[in-house]
Structure 1
Amino acid sequence: LELMQFKKPEWDATKRRLDSALTISDLRTIAKRRTPKAAFDYTDGAAEGEISLRRARQAFKDIEFHPDILRPAASVDTSVEILGGPSALPFGIAPTGFTRLMHTEGEVAGAGAAGAAGIPFTLSTLGTTSIENVR
């Protein structure tokens, strides 16, 4: 009996879907199924021949992790300075036009998430919310 472990059923369909996603590709597949075609294509696509998109995806695929197990990591500090300001992580949220096409709160939600994570947020010139409302 102790070897039999039953998983409690997840009733929240969104959580169940996201819990089953193991890779970025899995998340993309979920998004493609659930998002209207025009919105998905806008978000998923890139400029012109999508050369930089292919290069970025290839660079991500080329990363190989070599974890060092059983090494102390008590004082890891991921914070950096970006353009003279502090950031909890070495990245931020890049400008994305027409953000409310994908989420009703758009840039306000993105800025809130960035603020909660302690990372920079950049408002697009094609934003759907004014600077004052995002602030």
Structure 2
Amino acid sequence: MLRLYHLLLGSILLVSIPVGAKFVLSQFSPPKVIKSPTAAKLPNSNQGNIWQKILGNAAAPTNWQVAPCEGNTPLLCVSSKGKRLGTVEINIYPLANNEDFRNRLLAAGIPTASLIDYQSSKYQTQLLPVLNTNSLKLDYR
């Protein structure tokens, strides 16, 4: 004999199983890859922001946006639902101004005096340990 509480329990299970499955499956899915908007799509943007040139595809959690900030400052803006969560600043220093890094390149067998394509396979195995040294400092603010 089917009782009222059986129907109530069945309807609760019928609704909660798909909701629970969606929640559990979303925990195992990879983050969404968001393409960086081009300078033409950003209102009031200046061509000087270096992030526009180097960002490419950026992985961000669901409902987050990662895009170069407006203007020519070297900032990457991270936001969610229209609210800015933070920024990332990039600074580029000429090799001639960084004596320690230049010495590490020379110690790894990579010449620093001439124009070299550091992305070529010839230098990749030598360059990676130099970049992974703890002497390269990141400034977290």
TM-score of the alignment, normalized to the shorter chain, above 0.5: no
CA radius of gyration, larger in: 2
Question: Which protein is richer in strand relative to its size?
Answer: 2
Higher relative contact order (CA 8 A, sep 6+): 1
Question: Which protein is richer in helix relative to its size?
Answer: 1
